[in-house]
Amino acid sequence: MNLSPENKLLLDELLSNDEEAVKRALSVLPAMKPDQSCLRALEMFWQLNPDEDLRAEAGKILKTLEKPKELKNVEGSFAIFRSLSEILPWMDENAAEIQKKNFAVFAKQLNNYEYFLSKYPIYTDVLLDAGRKLYMLFQLETEAALCFETIIKYNPENDEALYAIGRMAEKKGEADKALEYYEKSISLNPANNYAQMQAGILKSTVFDRQQEAIDHFNKVIEEDPYSVEPYIRIAEACYHLNDYARCRQYLEIAMGINEYHEEALNLQGLLQWKVENDYEKAIASFQKGIDHRIHNDSALLLKSLGDIHAQQLQDYYKARVFYEKSLKINPGQKAIIQQFIPILLRTFQDLDAVVQCYENYLQKVPADAEIKAEYAAFLVEYLHDYEAAFQQLKMALEINPQLAEAEKLMARIANYVNEPDSKETEAEEDDDEDFEFEEIDIDFDDDEEKDDDDDDFTGGSAAGDF
């Protein structure tokens, strides 16, 4: 934006954190004819400045410069910032749709204000807050992304916007992209604990770069030595490195801060189960955090109770109770889906329960191509519902065109569905006459390598959202 030195000084004072400078700028404006840029800045000031008296003063000035209809349009353009605080999901079932419409009005005028929203900290914070609310409260991903990307457009060194974009990427399963944004955020502000934690979590749980993860968590401890989260994460990383002495050391510190923290109890139980072979102590640790007032029932601890009863004790009836309770709290747990469904099929022959597990999971995690393919295989083998299976496979291949299992199964059932592009061939007919379902397999034996792969440290919330 090209501004004269005089106007640049005026804007810097008007949009600053210095109240005296702001008042000085407001006192000058009535005696001058502001250019278009100053007028837009004054409009934004009138709508978004946190001081009610200063906003009122700006409104008086604008009434001398613009017509009532123009001022009404400005109020409409900024309605999104008011409605985000006034119309919440638990207050109005149409809240998300209202916010979407209000944001669309704002987006049409965004180019008039985006420079000021991105370059001046008070207003950048307002736009950051709007993006966070749009995403976290209303699940309006596109609108939230526009808020964060607008800030980066003019202020590429804003570590909070970079972190927010990374968080959105992580929740979409784009781990590489998320880590790139976290590391950019950290390079600009090493004290951004949220970015440090999420970078560490990804390096530990997705990329198996445990020592690098520990370095991130130690940075958080330097800034906040009384937070339980980084100590638990270091303990978990040490567990993966088979450094059990160091794992116990950090776990002890974590439980000294909060002895009922669900991930701390889960890790303690895993140590007792898989390292010390003390199953009774492990169960007691998992049980300690169940139905506790701090976090109510814990999906993570209930899962671990299901695991130990299924994998170690072969008590599938108890395992079912714990898995079902865990899935009721959080249906989107892939590890349970892939362990529990073979039990439902082999031990209970409960097809309705299997369908419910798949449906609830895919409602929560609709972009999981692997589970869609597994669900399709179940629909074919057990329910002979080729149409529903075909639809699941189509969606799976749209998400991941390289998913060979889905492609193969789709070809095998193509002749059973009424799809216009399904072409019948003799080879396919012969192949389809004898249909075999590749059952999901799980090994419940006490296999150390398998147990290590099943260790779950991700049942709790992430270190920090926006």
Average pLDDT score over residue span 69-79? 96
- Name the β-bridge partners of 296: 292
- The single-letter DSSP state of residue 30 is G
Q: How far apart are CA 222 and CA 231, in angstroms?
A: 11
Neighbouring residues of 358: CB distance < 8 A, sequence distance ≥ 6: 337, 341, 371, 374, 375, 378
Report the distance separating Cα 71 and Cα 68, nearest Å.
5
> Torsions phi, psi of 134, nearest 5?
-60, -40
Band (426; pLDDT cuts 50, 70, 90): very low
Count of Cβ atoms closer than 10 Å to residue 318 Cβ: 14
Give me the amino acid identity at 421.
D
pLDDT of residue 466: 74
Report the alpha-carbon distance of residue 267 to residue 247 in Å, rounded.
9
Neighbouring CB atoms inside 10 A of 353's CB total 17
User: Are 85 and 91 contacting, i.e. CB atoms less than 8 angstroms apart?
Assistant: no
DSSP secondary structure letter of residue 463: S
Q: Residues 285-314: what's their mean pLDDT? A: 88
pLDDT tens sequence across 388-407: 999 999 999 999 999 999 99
Above 70 in pLDDT, residue 419? no
Rg (CA), the chain: 28
DSSP 3-state of 292: strand
What digits encode the pLDDT tens for the residues 148-193? Answer: 999 999 999 999 999 999 999 999 889 999 999 999 999 999 999 9
Q: 331 vs 326, 362, 377, 431, 441, CA distance in Å?
A: 8, 9, 20, 36, 21
pLDDT at 100: 97
What average pLDDT does range 65-84 have in this prediction? 95
Q: Once rounded to an integer, what is the mean pLDDT over residues 409-418? A: 89
Q: Residue 296: pLDDT above 60? A: yes
Per-residue burial over 152-187, b if 16 or more Cβ lie within 10 Å, else e, is beebeebbbbbbbbbbbbbeeeeeeebbbbbbbbbe
Q: pLDDT band at residue 372, thresholds of 50, 70 and 90?
A: very high
Distance from the first to the final alpha carbon of the chain: 29
Rounded distance, CA 299 to CA 307, Å?
A: 12
pLDDT score, position 416: 87
Confidence of residue 239 (pLDDT cuts 50, 70, 90): very high
Res 457: pLDDT: 64
| pLDDT higher than 60, residue 345 | yes
Q: How confident is the model at residue 88 (pLDDT cuts 50, 70, 90)?
A: very high
pLDDT for residue 65 is more than 70: yes
Q: Which residue has the higher pLDDT, 187 or 425?
A: 187
What integer is the mean pLDDT of 54-82? 95
- The label of the residue with tokens 């017509």 reads 67
Q: How confident is the model at residue 458 (pLDDT cuts 50, 70, 90)?
A: low
pLDDT (tens digit per residue) in 442-455: 343 444 444 445 57
Place of tokens 């390292």: 275
pLDDT score for 435: 45
Please check whether residue 270 is in contact with residue 239, taking contact to mean a CB–CB distance below 8 angstroms: yes
What is the phi-psi region of residue 277: left when phi exceeds 0, alpha when psi lies from -120 to 50, beta otherwise? Answer: left
Q: Tell me what pLDDT residue 395 has.
A: 96
DSSP 460: S
Query: What's the average model confidence in pLDDT over 52-69?
Result: 95
Mean pLDDT of the chain: 90
Residue 136, number of CB atoms within 10 A of its CB: 13
- Residue 257: pLDDT band (50, 70, 90) is very high
Average pLDDT for residues 112-117, to the nearest whole number?
A: 96
Q: How many helices (H) and strands (E) does the chain have?
A: 26, 0
Contact 89, 95 (CB under 8 A): yes
In 3D space, the residue among 227, 18, 266, 254 whose CA is nearest the CA of residue 122 turns out to be: 18
Contact 220, 227 (CB under 8 A): yes
What gap in Å lies between CA 248 and CA 239, rounded to an integer? 9
Q: Is the pLDDT of residue 55 over 60?
A: yes
Binned at pLDDT 50, 70 and 90, residue 54 comes out as very high
Is the pLDDT score of 127 beyond 70? yes
Strand, coil or helix: what is 120?
Answer: coil
pLDDT reading at 299 higher than 50: yes
**pLDDT per residue as tens digits for the range 328-341:** 999 999 999 999 99
pLDDT of residue 5: 76
Asked if 159 and 151 touch (Cβ cutoff 8 Å), the reply is no
So what's the pLDDT on residue 434?
Answer: 46
Task: Reply yes or no on whether the pLDDT at 308 is more than 50.
Answer: yes
Q: Is 296 helix (H, G, I), strand (E, B) or coil?
A: strand
Please answer whether residues 320 and 348 qualify as being in contact, where contact means their C-beta atoms are separated by less than 8 angstroms.
yes
